[in-house]
Amino acid sequence: MMSWLPENVSTYGGDIDSIIRLIYYITSAWFFLTLGVFLLFLILYRRREGRRATYIRGDRLAEAAWILIPALIVLVLDLWIDFRGADAWAKVKGRVPPGDLRVQVTAKQFNWEILYPGPDGKFGTADDLQLENEMHVPVNKVVRVTLKSKDVIHSFFLPNLRLKQDAVPGREIEGWFQATKPGRYEMPCAELCGFGHSGMNGWLHVHPADEYQKWVKEHWPTS
């Protein structure tokens, strides 16, 4: 099952995958255990001529323990999953690192506008560079993304980097990622945003350091 996950190319993707994997193992074990007991009972206690069912009501605590204790184990496993996951959540969504590179992503029906601050490092100045559906970043650098929307809610999704975040009009939402492998990765929208939602897509280009410098030289306006 877990092999269906797309290749992970971000620093925190592994943390998310390991939580998914942990839940997968725990739930699979429970599935086979409960379904096994369930089927076993169905076979063992099928109707047989001359055998009367056992009269047990299961209201007394001593009897109910048969269902309460397994439920308690469920609780413990659940809490374990939750606390194991707390770090991964904090890492991805909690305090956003300052970042080596800042990019603004503005969603609109039905494109991603990618804005670079340009050589002066400030947004909203004449040397900004704007691209449509195309983001270029260097490998192994922390990229800080500011998400905005011009119209409706969209969701910025980078499957290979295990990053997803809604873009909400009226808000600026901060996010980040650090890609670990050069390549081209798809950047679809994951929230229904109108008739062009299907096909709202972009590409993240992760470049090796020197290639990225070349791209900057060729495309960024010179100051």
| Shortest Cβ 163–Cu ion spacing (Å) | 16
| Shortest Cβ 109–Cu ion spacing (Å) | 8
Q: Total residues at the site for Cu ion (CB under 5 A)?
A: 5
- Which residue, 194 or 221, has its beta carbon nearer to Cu ion? 194
Distance CA 90, CA 93 (A): 5
- Which residue, 65 or 209, has its beta carbon nearer to other proteins? 65
| Shortest Cβ 180–other proteins spacing (Å) | 16
DSSP string of 118-150?
Answer: TTTT-TTSTT-EEEESEEEEETTSEEEEEEEES
- Which residue, 42 or 126, has its beta carbon nearer to other proteins? 42
Restricting to residues 187-216, which ones interact with Cu ion according to CB under 5 A? 189, 193, 197, 200
- Which residue, 26 or 131, has its beta carbon nearer to other proteins? 26
| x-marked contacts with other proteins along 37-66 as a string, rule CB under 8 A | xx--xx--xxxx--xxxxxxxxx---xx-x
| 218: partner contacted, choices other proteins, Cu ion, none (Cβ within 5-8 A by kind) | none
| Shortest Cβ 92–other proteins spacing (Å) | 6
Restricting to residues 184-223, which ones interact with other proteins according to CB under 8 A? 186, 188-199, 201
| Shortest Cβ 181–other proteins spacing (Å) | 15
Q: Which residues pair with 157 in a beta bridge?
A: 164
DSSP letter assigned to residue 162: T
| x-marked contacts with other proteins along 101-120 as a string, rule CB under 8 A | --------x-----------
Distance CA 16, CA 207 (A): 24
| x-marked contacts with other proteins along 62-81 as a string, rule CB under 8 A | -xx-xxx-xxx-xx--xx-x
Note whether 203 and 187 are within 8 A (CB).
yes
Residue 134's nearest CA partner among 48, 202, 199 is 202
First to last CA, the chain: 51
3-state secondary structure of 96: coil
Residue 17's nearest CA partner among 85, 93, 115 is 85
Whole-angstrom CA distances from 182 to 7, 8, 123, 131 are: 12, 12, 26, 20
Restricting to residues 125-184, which ones interact with other proteins according to CB under 8 A? 151-153, 155, 157, 159-160, 162-166, 168-171, 173
DSSP letter assigned to residue 196: T
Residue 27's nearest CA partner among 80, 66, 64 is 80
| Shortest Cβ 79–other proteins spacing (Å) | 7
